[in-house]
Amino acid sequence: MSLTTENKLIGGASVIAAGLLLVAVRLRLNFGSLVDVVDADTRHALNVPLLMIGKLAITPVFLIKTCLFLILLTIAASFVRRALYHKVLARTSLGSPYRYAIARFGAILVYICGLIAGLESVGLNLGSLAILGGTLGIGIGFGLQPLVGNWVSGLVLLVEQPIRIGDRVDFNNMSGVVMRIGGRSTWVRTYDNEIIIVPNSDLTSHRITNWTANDPKIRLSIPVGVAYNCDFDQVRNCLEQIASEHPLVLAEPAPEAVVTQLADSAVNFALRFWTIVQPTDNLRLESDLYLAVLKTFTQKGIEMPYPQLDLHLRSSEATLMVASTQGGNPMARAEA
C-alpha cells in the first residue's frame, strides 16, 4: 500500500519526536536534567521577563514556546482542512465549492479553539485583554479596516456563495474563471491565462455577472440586417437552420430568428440560440455563425445593405453652378 504525502510527513514527525524523547531521557539519566546542561547565565537570560500581561510574565522562553505552538496549530488546522476536503466530505454528495467552504470553516474553527485553549493553558485571563483589545480595535478601525473588510467579505463569499470556484464571471470590464477564494482576495483567471487578484470587498460591493450560478446553459444573440426587398421568411428560415446545424448550439430550446427593428436602411433580425458556457469564451461560436451567415446569404442572393441616404431635390428658383470640362468653360449656369 503506497503512503500519501501527509502520512509520510506524520510518520517522519513521529520518528523525530520519538528520537528527541529518547535523547532527552538519555541526557536526564546520564547528565541529570536538560536544564542543567545549559549555562546558568543563558538560563537566566532566557527567563528574564520582558513585560507583564496581568500575572503572566512574557519571557524569551515563553515567546519561543508560543512560536512553536502557533506553528503546530497552523499545521493542525491545515491538516484538518485537507482531511475534511479530500477524505471526509469527498464521500458525500456535496459539490466541490461546498466542500471547500466547510473545510475552510473547520480549519478556522480548529485554529480559534486551539488559540483560546493555548491562552487559557498558560494562565492568561482573557478578561485582562480588554484594554489591549480596545486599543487593537482602534487600530483596526483606522489602519486595518480594509484588511478586516476583505476578510469579512471572504466569509460572506464562503457562506452565501454568490460565486464559487469554477464559475465564469464578468466583473469591472474583466471576464474569467474563479480559481481560488481566499481569506483576503479571490483569484480570477482570464481567458488570456492571466491571474487577476481581486479584493473580496470589491466582489461583495459591486455588481457581478455570474454565467454559471444556477445553470451552465445560456442564451446568446447575434444581430443580422437584410435589405427591404428580401424574402423575410427565407431569411428567418436560413438563420434558424444555420444555428441548428452548429454542434455547440442546443436543439432544445430551438434557435429562433426574430425581427427587432425596421431601420432606415435594413430590417434588423436577431438570431437567438442556447448553448453551454465554454471554459474560455463564446466568441468562437459567434464567429462561426457570422461566417456561416455571410456564406449562406451570398449563395442565396440575400442582400445585406450598407447604410444609405436618399436625397430628394425640389424645384427651385435658385441658379445651380454645375462643373463642366466641355467647351473650355469650367463652369456653366443651369436654371433649376
| Look-up of cell digits 435658385 | 318
Would you state the pLDDT for residue 106? Answer: 81
Confidence at residue 126, expressed as pLDDT on a 0 to 100 scale: 60
Residue 3 binned pLDDT confidence (cut-offs 50, 70, 90)? very low
Q: What cell numbers appear for 7 in the block?
A: 502520512
Q: Which domains does the chain have, with CATH numbers?
A: 28-138 (no CATH), 148-210 (2.30.30.60), 217-300 (3.30.70.100)
Note the pLDDT of residue 239. 92
> pLDDT value at position 292?
92
Q: Compute the average pLDDT of residues 194-210.
A: 87
* pLDDT of amino acid 270: 92
Instruction: Please state, rounded to an integer, the average pLDDT across all residues of the chain.
Output: 75
Q: What pLDDT does 24 receive?
A: 47
324 confidence band (pLDDT: 50, 70, 90): low
Distance between CA atoms of residues 243 and 255, nearest Å: 6
Is-contact 92 79, C-beta < 8 A? no
170-184 mean pLDDT? 84
Q: Cα(first)–Cα(last) distance of the chain, in Å?
A: 103
Cell numbers at 131, concatenated: 484594554
Q: Higher-confidence residue: 43 or 105? A: 105
Confidence (pLDDT) at 73: 83
Instruction: Determine the pLDDT at residue 51.
Output: 67
Name the strand (E) or helix (H) holding 183.
none
> What's the pLDDT tens digit per position in 248-272?
899 888 999 999 989 888 899 999 9
CA distance 175 to 190: 6
pLDDT at residue 271 in the model: 92
Q: Which pLDDT belongs to residue 174?
A: 83
